[in-house]
Amino acid sequence: TGSVEATTTNLEKSVSGLPPASNVSVRVRALNERGASNPSPPVHCTTSDDLPGPPARTRAVPAGPSSVVVTWSPPTVRTGSILHYTLYTQSGGQGRQREVVAGGPGQPTWREVTALLPGVLI
Across the chain, the runs of DSSP E, i.e. the strands, are 23-26, 31-32, 35-36, 43-46, 56-64, 67-73, 84-91, 96-102, 110-113, 120-121
Report, as an integer, the average pLDDT of 39-54.
93
Report, as an integer, the average pLDDT of 34-57.
93
Instruction: Output the pTM of the full model.
Output: 0.66
Per-residue pLDDT, 31 = 92
Evaluate if residue 95 carries a pLDDT over 80. no
Report, as an integer, the average pLDDT of 1-22.
82
Average pLDDT value over all residues in the chain: 85
Report, as an integer, the average pLDDT of 2-6.
76
